[in-house]
A and B are shown apart, each in its own frame.
Chain A
């Protein structure tokens, strides 16, 4: 569909200069075709080919092997652990992200600029460093190590630490996606709600949140994708204990290092399908509500 419409544009542009006739039209057409092939080729080389290759390799020797690979207890555990971490981190970072975006956009306080920079820090720092930092603070010899150990809470080499690490590396997404939408929304609607008798809480749920929902949804999708795929920080904090603290990406790496290529590929495909499902869910959700809004 887009190809024919783009070609149409090229033709329309060529048409008025009919003196030079078909030559100009052909050149314009060649140009759009060229640009499009480069873009598609780049995408194919970087993304489509490797992903397709994984799918191909996975199902090369039939579905039976793949099935037994993904139903391994360790694979199953990794799958559910990954989902568990996502289920904790995503709501946490969504609430935090929306709150922080409101604070940064609407609040007036000293050090706001600094806070805005701090929010972006997880993007700037390597996940490995994030993992090390968490170990330093919450590990046995860290600041809270004694206190935590004294209360029987193990953070490092267990799920709490992994949740923490994942939360940190995926922290900025919701904030960053929500901020511009919130700015565009403005405060008129909230003020109108206030004059109509809405409490701040009602105004948030009925006016602000529906106004910024696309930004939030997009932030949630990015957070989910990142939380699912996080490797570096989680790898350090978890200690990578098979069947205990291995998430799906860690499991893929583990299988790969142990020359179990079928296991690695199969787990990778599951990971890819989870990501795909997330994108699909967002797409369906936005499409349905958009249609309703523009009916």
Chain B
């Protein structure tokens, strides 16, 4: 179901967590709320779930105004950052919880739990307790528990934050495939731009309680609305007020007169990608991203003098969208 948030404000004492935030999420979409910590992304997610009440504004799920409805009536599945397992219950009882509070018949619950546990690949662990599961297993149990009641909307708060890198990559891929299978409208919160780019169809970039930009990953990368989005999504070189992507910098042999002279300070080889840290003649430092082949052709090494060609850098208006009064003498 589509989700609509209109002009939502939220304060915690003096701290403004959300400042006039509006977003629209299409039915069936997989959306990421991306931002640094304290940007308000988790608060927004909790307001959609009904775990937090906004000070102003409205929340609509499937066209229904749920701003003042309690969480339990919103038909929302929520996966908590630390999974919030019911520690005194088995995996089976955890997953069955939503069905059992709805007083569904026993055999229906049993069948559904079995189906879900196999969906999240936890078959055979039904009788275990949460303390006997690994982080990745807990995560999947929490997901199965949230999906058991067939929610209209699935919300995940930093779903992969507490996992190690390998499990994390695996689960990302798996979440995306799961979404393709069950098509439930999904929003997840993350501070990791790579995770957002990889998993989401739509990204909402948040900063300091406001929305900086929303759109598909490619669009945010290609045409960032402001310097915050530019520097938060993807690597960036900053030259005064100007911004430049490292892969936009072209490295040429030294004798090529069309470029600017530069000194190679360091070469970092990361497999296919090679990072080259350069010092320009006016001693400004930038770094460039080249392919392995390119680096081999140029025989890149430290201390080498090269020529670089830089496209016109991107320059944003002084402030990021919000009207800031100009200083007056």
Interchain CA distance A249-B146 in the complex, whole Å:
55
A202 touches B101 (CB 8 A): yes
Within 8 A of A (CB), among B96-122: 97-98, 101-102
B72 touches A198 (CB 8 A): yes
Interchain CA distance A197-B100 in the complex, whole Å:
10
> 6 A-B pairs, CB-CB below 8 angstroms?
A188-B80, A192-B84, A193-B86, A193-B101, A194-B72, A196-B146
User: Of the 9-residue stretches A206-214, A252-260, A269-277, which lies at the interface with chain B?
Assistant: A206-214
Flag A268-295 by CB within 8 Å of B: 1 or 0 each.
0000000000000000000000000111
B148 contact set on A, CB distance < 8 A: 196
Interchain CA distance A192-B50 in the complex, whole Å:
11
**Chain A: minimal CB distance from B68 (Å):** 15
Q: Which of B74, B84, B97, B102 contacts A191 (CB 8 A)?
A: B84
B86 touches A195 (CB 8 A): no
Flag B202-215 by CB within 8 Å of A: 1 or 0 each.
00000000000000
Interchain CA distance A58-B97 in the complex, whole Å:
55
Give the bracket for the number of chain A residues in contact with chain B: 10 to 19
A126 contact set on B, CB distance < 8 A: none
B73 contact set on A, CB distance < 8 A: 197
State whether the Cβ of A189 lies closer than 8 Å to any Cβ in chain B.
yes
State whether the Cβ of B324 lies closer than 8 Å to any Cβ in chain A.
no
4 extra A-B contacts, CB within 8 A, seeds A195-B50, A197-B101: A194-B70, A196-B97, A197-B149, A211-B88
State whether the Cβ of A199 lies closer than 8 Å to any Cβ in chain B.
yes
Interchain CA distance A47-B49 in the complex, whole Å:
56
Give the bracket for the number of chain B residues in contact with chain A: 20 to 34
Q: Which of A189, A195, A294 contacts B76 (CB 8 A)?
A: A195
Interchain CA distance A270-B226 in the complex, whole Å:
81
B86 touches A199 (CB 8 A): no
Q: Which of B72, B87, B129 contacts A195 (CB 8 A)?
A: B72
Interchain CA distance A15-B50 in the complex, whole Å:
60
A196 contact set on B, CB distance < 8 A: 72, 97-98, 101, 145-146, 148-149
State whether the Cβ of B82 lies closer than 8 Å to any Cβ in chain A.
yes
| A198 and B101 in contact, given A188-B82, A191-B51, A191-B71 (Cβ under 8 angstroms) | yes
B131 contact set on A, CB distance < 8 A: 294
A197 touches B84 (CB 8 A): no
Interchain CA distance A198-B149 in the complex, whole Å:
11
Flag A178-189 by CB within 8 Å of B: 1 or 0 each.
000000000011
A202 contact set on B, CB distance < 8 A: 101
Within 8 A of B (CB), among A1-22: none
B84 contact set on A, CB distance < 8 A: 188-189, 191-192
Interchain CA distance A199-B49 in the complex, whole Å:
15
Q: Which of B74, B80, B88 contacts A192 (CB 8 A)?
A: B80
State whether the Cβ of B35 lies closer than 8 Å to any Cβ in chain A.
no
State whether the Cβ of B77 lies closer than 8 Å to any Cβ in chain A.
yes
Interchain CA distance A88-B309 in the complex, whole Å:
88
Interchain CA distance A192-B78 in the complex, whole Å:
7
Flag B43-82 by CB within 8 Å of A: 1 or 0 each.
0000001110000000000000000001111101110101
**Chain B: minimal CB distance from A277 (Å):** 27
**Chain A: minimal CB distance from B159 (Å):** 14
Interchain CA distance A189-B78 in the complex, whole Å:
12
B88 touches A210 (CB 8 A): yes
Best-surrounded residue of A195, A207, A293, A295 (most CB of chain B within 10 A): A195
B77 touches A195 (CB 8 A): yes
B88 touches A293 (CB 8 A): yes
**Chain B: minimal CB distance from A290 (Å):** 11
Which 3 pairs from chain A and chain B are nearest by CB?
A188-B84, A196-B98, A195-B78
**Chain B: minimal CB distance from A235 (Å):** 42
A210 contact set on B, CB distance < 8 A: 86, 88-89
**Chain B: minimal CB distance from A75 (Å):** 43
Interchain CA distance A196-B89 in the complex, whole Å:
15
B51 contact set on A, CB distance < 8 A: 191, 194-195
A194 contact set on B, CB distance < 8 A: 50-51, 70-72
| A198 and B97 in contact, given A210-B88, A211-B87, A293-B88 (Cβ under 8 angstroms) | yes
**Chain B: minimal CB distance from A261 (Å):** 50
Interchain CA distance A293-B127 in the complex, whole Å:
11
A189 contact set on B, CB distance < 8 A: 84-87
Residue of A nearest to B87 (CB): A211
Interchain CA distance A207-B98 in the complex, whole Å:
12
A198 contact set on B, CB distance < 8 A: 72, 97-98, 101
Interchain CA distance A192-B86 in the complex, whole Å:
9
**Chain B: minimal CB distance from A121 (Å):** 31
| A293 and B129 in contact, given A191-B51, A191-B84 (Cβ under 8 angstroms) | yes
Interchain CA distance A39-B85 in the complex, whole Å:
41
| A206 and B97 in contact, given A195-B146, A211-B88 (Cβ under 8 angstroms) | yes
**Chain A: minimal CB distance from B52 (Å):** 10
**Chain A: minimal CB distance from B89 (Å):** 8
